[in-house]
């Protein structure tokens, strides 16, 4: 790892000032992506700004609009928090599939979403649930947040403070897990908001996206069989040692079916 | 920079560079060589220690990040003539061969039995996802942890 200066601000303004005053700064949350990347010398920031002292990035709250989850909430906190298990069980279940226990004890929801890894799990939830990313200066709709491989709508000095999720009547997530890392080769989150269906896909393309074609078919007929007739084109999908683009397109369909089967077996909350 | 770090209930003062990993400080500054380094990709779990009571990979944590936290390593959970129940279980069930993965396995196993309910063999296996063992085939490790679950 190259050398850097370490800072641990205790207020948001202080964090932003430190960022603006440094040559090539980076924010540090759980470090479960950043530290391995720095160890491999793929990232070489001059200044590391540790967010863990910022209380405004913490906490979980329920409101009329849904659940608001602080950026620093760890994957294991999401997996086990009573409010999340009760009101948004799909998110708790998703978080429990991330990596391994040690990673879930450190990694954060804000870090995962800011990172936009094409195989990360939370992006499927942000898109599939139609969530919102809140930063120190604005709210960004989940649909507009992921731009490309490791690229998001965040400006350089913009911090995610919390993620807001509306509560669906029912929702389910299915994932084809990479056996070595736990990451999603493909993952699909299907949500039902009073008949309005959203499908968020991760792992297939350069960043998470909605499957609008599938959503439209499901809004006509919310059944697993309908998916047999849907074409999923593989154009633009990733091809790597784990799976070809063609296989990923196949998985989109299979995993959407699995998520939908699970969703249909749930009692409709409304 | 100079930091204070609380390891196994003793506060140590160490002078380190910010880019020093927690596992490096444990092994090289404090000579606590139980936490091992088995990989470069944060995947093997041999370096697992407890940070404020939860299992973490000390090769993916900067030492400066733990200045306000309590660290417990394999050296802090028992003594040679007074082993932790998990250590005893590993010995009784022959849950190790070369022993390289064992400190990390035990620290993760303690996190698992402390924080998960209704553990069965399948859940124990899932709980060991972040710990690799090249010798045992895991069978006896699972049996050792299961025996601790049964006793609690
Ligand atoms: C062995 C292993 C297995 C894993 N398996 C999975 C898996 O199965 N599924 C999965 O989804 N992920 C997986 N991960 C990644 C893990 O979930 C990370 O925790 C996550 O991607 C990043 O979160 P973090 O808090 O650790 O962020 P960090 O590593 O601290 O930061 C990541 C990036 O986000 C930026 N950032 C962090 N917080 C903020 C914020 N609040 N505002 C703006 N920018 C911010 C940082 O500057 C950095 O660029 C795995 C990681 C490891 C090591
Ligand atoms: S050395 Fe830490 S996970 Fe392998
Ligand atoms: S006992 Fe040798 S690696 Fe596990």
CATH number reported for the structural domain that contains residue A11 in this entry = 3.30.43.10
Q: Are residues A41 and A126 in the same domain?
A: no
Asked whether residue A43 falls in the same domain as residue A140, the answer is no
Clarify whether residues B69 and B7 are in a common domain.
yes
Predicted local confidence at residue A270, as pLDDT: 46
Question: Is the model's pLDDT at A223 over the cut of 70?
Answer: yes
Shared domain for A154 and A253, answered yes or no, is yes
- Which residue in the block uniquely carries the two structure tokens 């994932």? A175
Distance between B69 CA and the closest CA of chain A, angstroms: 12
Domain span at residue B101 reads 85-151
Is A269 contained in some domain?
Answer: no
- Whole-angstrom Cα distance, residue A107 to residue A86? 22
Q: Which residue of A has its CA nearest to B105?
A: A102
Chain A partners within 8 Å of B60 (Cβ): 31-32, 35-36, 106
| A2 inside 8 A of chain B by CB | yes
Phi-psi bin for A143: left (phi > 0), alpha (psi -120 to 50), beta?
alpha
Q: Any residues with Cβ below 6 Å from ligand 3, and which?
A: B 96-102, 133-136
Q: Are residues B107 and B60 in the same domain?
A: no
**Is the CB of residue A121 below 6 angstroms from any atom belonging to ligand 1?**
yes
Is B46 in contact with B103 (CB distance < 8 Å)? yes
- Residues A39 and A131 placed together within one structural domain of the fold: no
For residues B7 and B41, membership in a common domain is answered with: yes
Do residues A115 and A240 both lie within one domain?
yes
Report the atom number in ligand 2 closest to the C-alpha of A102.
3
In a domain, A36, yes or no: yes
What total of structural domains would you count in chain B? 2
Strand order across the B54-57 sheet: B10-15, B2-7, B70-72, B48-51, B54-57
Its domain, for residue A14, covers: 5-49
Res. A269: pLDDT tops 60: no
Instruction: State the ligand closest to the CA atom of B133.
Output: 3
Q: What is the pLDDT of residues B71-80, one digit of tens each?
A: 999 999 999 9
Q: Nearest-CA distance from B27 to chain A in Å?
A: 17
Looking at residue A268, what is its pLDDT? Answer: 66
Per-residue pLDDT tens for A5-46?
A: 999 999 999 999 999 999 999 999 999 999 999 999 999 999
What is the ipTM for the molecules in this complex?
0.97
Q: Decide: residue B31, CB within 10 A, 0-12 exposed, 13-18 middle, 19+ buried.
A: exposed
Q: Are residues A128 and A31 in the same domain?
A: no
A83 and A9 both lie in a single domain: no
How far does CA A10 lie from the centroid of its chain? 26
- Tell whether B32 is covered by a domain: yes
Task: Show which of A49, A69, A84 is a domain's final residue.
Answer: A49
Which CATH number covers residue A258?
3.30.465.10
Cross-chain residue pair B61–A1, CB shorter than 8 Å: no
pLDDT at A178: 93
Tell me if A270 is assigned to some domain: no
A39 in the same domain as A138 = no
Pairing of strands A5-7, A47-50: parallel
- The answer on B90 and B42 residing in a single domain is no
Into how many domains does chain A fold? 2
Cα separation, A52 vs A32, in Å, equals 13
Secondary structure (3-state) at A263:
helix
Cβ-contact B46, B38 below 8 angstroms:
yes
Distance in Å, CA A194 to ligand 1 centroid: 33
Same domain, B91 and B64: no
Q: Nearest CB to A31: which of B18, B61, B127?
A: B61
């Amino acid at each position: 790892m190259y050398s850097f200066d370490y800072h641990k601000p205790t207020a948001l303004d202080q964090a932003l000032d430190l960022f603006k005053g440094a040559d090539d700064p980076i924010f540090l949350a759980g470090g479960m992506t950043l530290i391995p990347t720095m160890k491999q010398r793929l990232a070489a920031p001059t200044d590391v700004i540790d967010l863990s002292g910022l209380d405004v990035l913490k906490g979980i709250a329920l409101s009329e609009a849904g659940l608001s989850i602080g950026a620093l909430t760890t994957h294991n906190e999401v997996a086990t928090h009573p409010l999340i298990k009760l009101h948004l069980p799909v998110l708790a279940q998703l978080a429990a599939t991330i990596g391994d226990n040690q990673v879930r004890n450190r990694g954060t929801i804000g870090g995962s979403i800011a990172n936009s890894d094409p195989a990360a799990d939370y992006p499927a939830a942000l898109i599939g649930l139609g969530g919102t990313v809140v930063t120190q200066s604005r709210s960004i709709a989940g649909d507009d947040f992921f731009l490309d491989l490791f690229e998001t709508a965040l400006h350089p000095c913009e911090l995610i403070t919390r993620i807001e999720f509306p509560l669906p009547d029912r929702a389910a997530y299915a994932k084809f897990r990479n056996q070595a890392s736990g990451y999603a080769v493909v993952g699909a989150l299907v949500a039902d908001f009073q008949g309005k269906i959203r499908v968020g896909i991760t792992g297939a393309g350069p960043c998470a996206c909605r499957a609008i074609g599938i959503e439209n078919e499901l809004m006509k007929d919310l059944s697993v069989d309908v998916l047999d007739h849907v074409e999923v084109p593989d154009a633009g999908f990733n091809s790597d040692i784990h799976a070809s683009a063609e296989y990923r397109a196949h998985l989109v369909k299979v995993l959407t079916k699995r998520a939908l089967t699970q969703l249909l077996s749930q009692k409709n909350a409304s | 920079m100079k930091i204070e770090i609380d390891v196994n209930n003793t506060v140590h003062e160490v002078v380190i560079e910010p880019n020093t990993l927690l596992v490096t400080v444990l092994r090289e500054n404090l000579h606590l060589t139980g936490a091992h380094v088995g990989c470069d990709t944060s995947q093997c779990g041999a370096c697992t220690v407890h940070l404020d009571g939860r299992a973490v990979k000390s090769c993916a944590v900067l030492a400066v990040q733990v200045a306000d936290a309590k660290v417990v390593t394999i050296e802090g959970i028992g003594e040679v003539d007074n082993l932790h129940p998990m250590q005893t279980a590993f010995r009784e069930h022959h849950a190790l061969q070369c022993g390289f993965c064992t400190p990390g396995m035990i620290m993760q196993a303690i996190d698992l039995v402390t924080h998960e309910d209704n553990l069965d063999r399948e859940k124990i296996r899932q709980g060991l996802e972040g710990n690799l063992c090249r010798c045992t085939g895991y069978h006896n490790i699972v049996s050792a942890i299961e025996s601790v679950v049964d006793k609690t």
